[in-house]
Amino acid sequence: MSGDLFGHAPASNAEAPLADRMRPRSFEELVGQEPLLEPGSPLALMREGKHLSSIILWGPPGSGKTTIARLIAGAAQAPFVAHSAVLAGVKEVKEAMERAALERKRSGRPTVLFLDEIHRFNRAQQDAFLSHVERGDIILVGATTENPSFEVNAALLSRARVLVLRELTQADLKVLIERAARDPRGLAGKVTLEPDALEALAAAADGDARRALTALEIAAAGSQAGHVTVEDARRALARKHLRYDKAGEEHFNLISALHKSLRDSDPHAGLYWLARMLAAGEDPLYVARRLVRFASEDVGNADPQALPLAVAAFQAYHQLGTPEGELALAQCCVYLATAPKSNAVYQGMGKAMAEVEQSGSLPPPLVIRNAPTRLMKDIGYGAGYKYAHAEPGRIADQQHLPDELQGRRFYEPTGEGFEAEIAKRMKAWETLVEGKRKGG
């Protein structure tokens, strides 16, 4: 997606999607983001033409990020360029910034450069903006659905204010739907809405204005004589209504079903529940995080490759997005289901954490403490330490746990997969140490 260097919002026309035709033409038409326009706020100053500055817009899909970028350019009467980091490469963006630099030399006006999905560019790629932002060639407006603290590099964050957009409420969405139904740019004179249809469209849009207006347009096209009933709305909302709530009971039911299917080594059910969650609109990165957790909690050292594969699947989706990245999640899902299982690391960590909670800050034995100063050496820090690589079998017989915990065991490997080899190694080391203690 890219915009014209010297244009603003494209002119509305009857062929454009309803959501595009109904894009707010002024800040006064913006719905749901009133806190961002309080007097003295960065956005209010830009609306009033008092101070133009680079910003990062962080908010959920359909909350108005693209619209705000266009409104800023319109208020400043500045050239506007729009790119998506999903579709454009750094090369195209650099070319746009070079043209912006020439435009500023010619007219003295900076260009408002809008980059949607800015988190898709890595930190090195984001560095390309810095010099142009510093010189004032561009006013960068980045948009992201991800936390900028983790996804935008520090140098860029120091030069741009982060503005947090909230998810639109059902009341906000009803305002937008009703406006589209009566506005000449939208469906004025072509559609009437039953109250229940309005409620259904607003509720199912999940805070996304674009989704709400697209569903309205489909419902209107499928209605009888433009009278949209609740059944028209339901048919328009999805191929099949998937009962799901991202933060409620169904969310936890489905992730539990996925996790337990993988734990029970059922790849068929694992793939089904993965598909159900993705089809219902779950954040794929949330699912990816849970797969990474599962790799440590339920596979553990029975298959040490499970964790690297799960992390790779997370990174693959993060870089590719939908739909390409979903296949990596499916591959990981099948691998985890069919891997040998062990929760020994999970159990061991739980025991260790419980011990820390109970016994507090027990000091390490003197023999394994660091001794960087003469005083520490004089009072016994590190005294008698044995270097494992210089010992027979590369095992040193010395105390590692605090005195109060001598002999405690936290990790007990199972006989599953690679963990059987770990158990064999631990047994051999313990036998060797025992032999040393007996003078062998």
Average pLDDT over residues 167-172: 92
CB 213 within 8 A of CB 18: yes
Q: 0.85 cut: is pTM over it? A: no
CB 185 within 8 A of CB 21: yes
pLDDT for residue 342 is more than 60: yes
Instruction: Report how far apart, in Å, the C-alpha atoms of 71 and of each of 11, 49, 76, 103 are.
Output: 14, 11, 9, 20
Which sequence spans correspond to the domains of the chain? 18-164, 170-237, 249-338, 362-437
Which of the four pLDDT bands, split at 50, 70 and 90, describes residue 170? Answer: very high
pLDDT for residue 300 is more than 90: yes
CATH ID of 170-237, from 3.40.50.920, 1.10.8.60, 3.40.309.10, 3.40.50.300: 1.10.8.60
pLDDT for residue 53 is more than 70: yes
CATH number given to 249-338: 1.20.272.10
249 against 413, higher pLDDT: 413
Which of the four pLDDT bands, split at 50, 70 and 90, describes residue 247? Answer: low
| Cis amide leading into 323 (omega within 30) | yes
C-alpha to C-alpha distance for 342 and 345, rounded to whole angstroms: 8
pLDDT for residue 10 is more than 90: no
Q: What is the pLDDT of residue 13?
A: 64
C-alpha to C-alpha distance for 100 and 438, rounded to whole angstroms: 79
Class at the top of the CATH hierarchy for domain 362-437:
mainly alpha
Alpha helix ranges (H) inside 108-147: 123-126, 130-135
Nearest CA to 167 among 264, 61, 17? 61
C-alpha to C-alpha distance for 106 and 110, rounded to whole angstroms: 10
pLDDT, mean over the chain: 88
Question: Which of 85-89, 101-105, 303-307, 384-388: highest mean pLDDT?
Answer: 303-307
Burial class (CB in 10 A: 0-12, 13-18, 19+), 302: buried
Q: What is the pLDDT of residue 250?
A: 67
In CATH terms, is domain 18-164 a member of 3.40.50.300? yes
Q: Percent of the chain beyond pLDDT 90?
A: 50
DSSP structural state of residue 299: I
Tell me the longest C-alpha to C-alpha distance in the chain: 98
Nearest CA to 172 among 220, 219, 208, 144? 208
